Amino acid sequence: MNLSYKILWFEDEGDFVRSYISDIQGFVEYLGFKFINPRVESDNSKTDNINFEDYDLILMDYKLSDGDKGDVIIDKIRSMNIYTEIVFYSSSSIDDLRLSIQRKGLDGVYCANRGTGFIDKVKDIIKQTLKKVLDINTMRGIVMASASDFDQKMIDIILAYKKLKNDVEYNAFLQKRKGKLIISLNDKVKLINKKEPHDILGARDFDSSHKLRAVLNIVKELFPNLTETTKAFKLDVLNIRNPLAHVTEIEDPSGSGKKCLADGDFIFNDESSRQILENLKKHERNLDDILEKIKNCSKINLV
């Protein structure tokens, strides 16, 4: 799952960058995304080694230490057919900046004053660049892709748990999960009964819900302090998949005047989008933490 937001920043004064980093980080994370520390370039010397397509936003100072002007670098970027949004800023007049980009016919460039209004402009553009991610169709894809990633993480946890148990204990653990699976799939009892305990991990019917229950059993045994967070996976991830598949457009009950999407009690608007992304990040961290703890347990037991 990739919910990171990456910035490329052309600025030769480190103190200027540092003065805004925490504010930008807080805003990106408020929107539900991971903040990656910006790549900062003080001049034009390394542009040939930059993969500009990796970045979601470019911040460009007009005057840099090597004497190159920001509009020259922007022109070079656009000549490579890179159309990432750019905030072009300077302590000079904004009108001067606009003239410089107009002369070169540069598109997708937003001008800002280096002081007044700089951070507000940056936040506005960040929100605009992330707006497409908060769109319902994109969010459906994010949730479905994340759920698939989480399925694999849960299988990894179960397989790592095997190293902490002898064969009898591990088979007994899987046999219990197999029994629960059979109960919930009565119409497929004959098929499931033919499987060996270890075969259920790759079975289509051993779905996210059954994987979660298996992981919960492991967590309760080994890391009980993580039980409540792991339990919340059902509410935060599994329970939103169906609503996202069946939403219809309505007026936002929040009174914002915007349209939103809903399925019964489930409301999909800007706020719920941010919460969904926060929950996906939370459970990714939790599953990674569980897996790492189990691997560390395995190393200790093997010594």
**Confidence band, pLDDT 50/70/90 cuts, at residue 4:** confident
DSSP letter string, 223-244:
-GGGHHHHHHHIIIIIHHHHHH
| Residue type for position 259 | K
What's the pLDDT score for residue 282? 93
Is it the case that residue 20 has pLDDT exceeding 90?
yes
**Confidence band, pLDDT 50/70/90 cuts, at residue 291:** very high
Where helices occur in the chain by DSSP H, the ranges are 14-30, 70-79, 94-104, 118-131, 136-161, 167-184, 189-193, 208-222, 227-233, 239-246, 270-302
What is the residue-averaged pLDDT of the chain? 84
Report all structural domains of the chain as residue ranges with CATH numbers, in order of start.
4-131 (3.40.50.2300), 136-302 (no CATH)
What's the pLDDT score for residue 63? 82
- Write the pLDDT tens digit of every residue in 212-235: 999 999 999 999 999 999 999 999
What's the pLDDT score for residue 303? 43
- Write the pLDDT tens digit of every residue in 159-209: 999 999 999 999 999 999 888 877 776 666 666 677 788 887 887 778 888
Q: What is the DSSP letter of 264?
A: T
134 or 283, greater pLDDT: 283
- Write the pLDDT tens digit of every residue in 60-79: 998 876 667 888 889 888 88
Q: What is the DSSP letter of 117?
A: T
34 or 226, greater pLDDT: 226
Percent of the chain exceeding pLDDT 70 equals 86
- Write the pLDDT tens digit of every residue in 72-122: 889 888 888 888 899 999 887 888 888 888 888 888 899 998 888 899 999
Is it the case that residue 3 has pLDDT exceeding 80?
no
Answer whether 192's CB lies under 8 Å from 181's CB: yes
**Confidence band, pLDDT 50/70/90 cuts, at residue 275:** confident
Kindly report whether the global pTM for this prediction surpasses the value 0.75. Answer: no
How far apart are the C-alpha atoms of 44 and 255, rounded to whole Å?
A: 48
Crossing angle for the helix pair 208-222 and 136-161, nearest 10 degrees? 50
Contacts 24+ apart (CB under 8 A), 121-125: 121/87, 121/89, 122/20, 122/24, 122/57, 122/59, 122/87, 123/24, 123/27, 125/57, 125/85, 125/87
Is it the case that residue 158 has pLDDT exceeding 90?
yes
| Residue type for position 261 | L
| Residue type for position 225 | N
Taking Cα atoms as reference points, which of 96, 104, 98, 95 lies closest to residue 73?
104
- For residue 8, the cross-strand partners are 39, 58
**Confidence band, pLDDT 50/70/90 cuts, at residue 154:** very high
